[in-house]
Amino acid sequence: MTALPAPRPAEDDEGAALFRDAGCAACHVPILAGAGGRAVRAFTDLLLHDLGPGLAGGFPEGAASPGEWRTPPLWGLGASMRRGDRLLHDARAATIDEAVRWHGGEAEEARARFLALAPGQAARLLAYLEGL
């Protein structure tokens, strides 16, 4: 696994800026320092966050309380959508847009910013995410 190259997202400055400005990058941190200081474009902070009652599982899992989930990496998101994978911990979301709409709690503000985007900007951000 360590020998495999990390997926290289397409360069898309406008999409990256929308992602950052909406607050997504606070949890889906675009670049982590990997082994040997190599940059890994994983789009996660690897931390637990409370995403509100809408996503709460109703039972504690390990050290996480019922509403807490570990930020999943978003790398390879486009490929996984093309494979027909579903999103979120219980696979409830069929699309990226739907997954973002389920965000609440600590991610409520980012969700609100996403919903407030003009349709063209939202499409731009979704295209960026599909390119990861």
Select the span of 2-10, 32-40, 59-67, 107-115 touching ligand HEC (CB under 6 A). 107-115
For 63, residues 6+ apart whose C-beta sits below 8 A from its C-beta are 48
**Burial tier of 125 (Cβ tally within 10 Å: 0-12, 13-18, 19+):** buried
Q: CB 86 → ligand HEC: shortest distance, Å? A: 8
Q: CB 14 → ligand HEC: shortest distance, Å? A: 15
Q: Which amino acid is at 49?
A: H
CA dist., res. 44 & res. 71, Å (int): 6
Q: CB 36 → ligand HEC: shortest distance, Å? A: 27
CA dist., res. 28 & res. 34, Å (int): 15
| Cβ distance to ligand HEC smaller for residue 1 or 105 | 105
Nearest CA among 5, 2, 28, 1 for reference residue 15:
28
Pattern 41-70, ligand HEC, x by CB under 6 A: --------x-x---x-------------x-
List interacting residues with ligand HEC (CB under 6 A): 22-24, 26-28, 49, 51, 55, 69, 71-72, 74, 87-89, 96, 99-100, 103, 106-107, 110, 114, 129
